[in-house]
């Protein structure tokens, strides 16, 4: 008989990890072996956390602020988060409607744990950050994928008809992420309103992950669900510190939801993580309340990188590039190359990594279906973008000559 310790329960067996991390590990291994790798792989800003944030966390440590905190987060941080959301979105969020989590990821997890019942359908706009579908499955939910439409030169668009058609009696939640990982597109303002109309009409929860809300290259296009006056009825809102303040390793995110369900969410939160790291929370207060100069500079630089990456990749007859509108990703189509060579997107990513020392990620890292696309993260220095982009263009061209 099989040892019980080998007997993982079926829902857990169904959950897959973050493939992106597997490719990053491959690249790291090559680097350790002495190979130079230009990485378009990683989803974190290539900046250290601004100094005043680090200083405040150090101060907290020196003051001995090292114990557990309130599960919902220290009051100063909940207030700072509510202040940020209200000054930006006029959302009227009360600090008591905020729960600080150990990253946006944990906020997604807590939200799914609270709402997804076995047999519920969770609509995921595909491709997507992998965690929505995986967390939904863990709680017995069934991910229903609504594919984005790719339009050359434009990028990805959500087809509202398709979204409407995917709604059933069992739909419990729609996971929305704008600006979007992996495409870098923004869901336009009118569609945000239409999605919320659908939620009202069909009694569906919107899980809105707005972690890239500061990475906007076409800011007029973006709308937060928190701008809707009745957001409390259908919205669970997720955001975090990882991207805006280059704080991925601090593990800090947050959830905003109506007050009535906060006690239950806290039961779940305390069971998973007790509280977010005490001194990191102090740093996060400084992040929101201190100078945003470094953030704005970083975003300006990202905007320039988006342009340059677009220009460089557009040189290739095999890459259908477009200008990202937000986040720090482009997910161009490479189907012409795949058709010509018979390669899959995974094989192309491996070819670029092993033969040319450039890391990108295949569509399969963001979807359970085939996407003839690869993701470029431009969270890397400009010279890497130019050099790495040219290497990719040449690698595809060169392959043509070989075959």
Ligand X SMILES: Cc1ncc(COP(=O)(O)O)c(C=O)c1O
Q: Are strands 155-157 and 205-209 parallel, antiparallel or unpaired?
A: unpaired
Is 177 one of the binding residues for ligand X (CB under 6 A)? yes
For residue 15, the 8-state DSSP code is: -
Cα distance between residue 41 and residue 57, in whole Å: 29
Is 135 one of the binding residues for ligand X (CB under 6 A)? no
Residue 266, number of CB atoms within 10 A of its CB: 15
**What is the chain's Cα-based Rg?**
21
Is 141 one of the binding residues for ligand X (CB under 6 A)? no
x/- map, 107-126, ligand X, by CB under 6 A: --------------------
Helix, strand, coil percentages in the chain from 3-state DSSP, rounded to 5 = 50, 15, 35
Is 326 one of the binding residues for ligand X (CB under 6 A)? no
Is 211 one of the binding residues for ligand X (CB under 6 A)? yes
Residues in binding contact with ligand X, number by CB under 6 A: 13
138: exposed, middle or buried (Cβ count in 10 Å: 0-12, 13-18, 19+): middle
Cα distance between residue 398 and residue 349, in whole Å: 15
Looking at 72, 77, 91, 104, which residue binds ligand X (CB under 6 A)? 104
Is 310 one of the binding residues for ligand X (CB under 6 A)? no
Is 375 one of the binding residues for ligand X (CB under 6 A)? no
Identity of the residue, 245 or 318, whose beta carbon is nearer to ligand X in the bound complex: 245
Q: How far is CA 329 from CA 32, 181, 270, 309, 401, in A?
A: 26, 7, 34, 10, 29
Q: Which residue is nearest to ligand X (CB)?
A: 103
Is 314 one of the binding residues for ligand X (CB under 6 A)? no
Looking at 39, 49, 185, 242, which residue binds ligand X (CB under 6 A)? 242
Binders of ligand X among 30-49, rule CB under 6 A? 43
Is 324 one of the binding residues for ligand X (CB under 6 A)? no
Q: In the complex, which residues of this chain contact ligand X (CB under 6 A)? A: 43, 103-105, 129, 177, 181, 209, 211, 240, 242, 248, 253
């Amino acid at each position: 008989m099989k040892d019980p310790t080998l007997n993982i329960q079926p829902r857990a067996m169904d959950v897959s990890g973050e493939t992106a991390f597997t490719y990053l590990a491959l690249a790291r291994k090559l680097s350790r072996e002495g190979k130079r790798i230009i990485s378009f792989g990683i989803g974190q800003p290539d900046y250290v956390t601004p100094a005043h944030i680090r200083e405040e966390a150090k101060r907290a440590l020196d003051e001995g602020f090292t114990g557990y905190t309130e599960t919902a987060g220290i009051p100063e941080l909940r207030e700072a988060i509510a202040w940020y959301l209200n000054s930006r979105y006029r959302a009227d969020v009360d600090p008591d409607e905020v729960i600080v989590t150990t990253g946006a990821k944990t906020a997604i997890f807590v939200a799914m744990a609270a709402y997804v019942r076995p047999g519920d359908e969770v609509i995921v706009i595909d491709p997507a950050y992998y965690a929505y579908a995986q967390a939904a499955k863990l709680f017995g939910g069934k991910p229903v994928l609504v594919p984005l439409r790719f339009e050359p030169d434009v990028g990805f668009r959500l087809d509202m008809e398709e979204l409407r058609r995917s709604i059933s009696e069992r739909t419990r939640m729609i996971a929305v992420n704008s600006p979007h990982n992996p495409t870098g597109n923004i869901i336009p303002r009118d569609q945000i309103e239409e999605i919320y109309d659908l939620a009202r009409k069909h009694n569906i929860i919107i899980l809105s992950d707005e972690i890239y809300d500061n990475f906007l290259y076409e800011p007029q296009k973006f709308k937060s669900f928190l701008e809707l006056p009745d957001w409390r009825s259908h919205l669970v809102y997720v955001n975090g510190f990882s991207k805006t303040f280059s704080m991925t390793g601090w593990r800090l995110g947050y959830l905003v939801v109506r007050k009535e369900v906060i006690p239950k969410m806290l039961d779940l939160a305390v069971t998973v993580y007790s509280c977010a790291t005490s001194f990191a929370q102090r740093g996060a207060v400084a992040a929101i309340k201190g100078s945003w100069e470094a953030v704005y500079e970083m975003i300006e630089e990202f905007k320039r990188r988006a342009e340059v990456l677009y220009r460089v990749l557009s040189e290739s007859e095999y890459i259908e590039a477009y200008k990202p509108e937000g986040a720090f990703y482009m997910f161009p189509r490479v189907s012409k190359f795949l058709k010509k060579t018979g390669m899959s997107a995974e094989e192309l990513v491996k070819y670029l990594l092993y033969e040319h020392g450039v890391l990108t990620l295949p569509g399969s890292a963001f979807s359970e279906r085939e996407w003839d696309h690869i993701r470029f993260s431009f969270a890397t220095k400009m010279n890497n973008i130019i050099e790495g982009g040219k290497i990719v263009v040449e690698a595809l061209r060169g392959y043509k000559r070989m075959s």
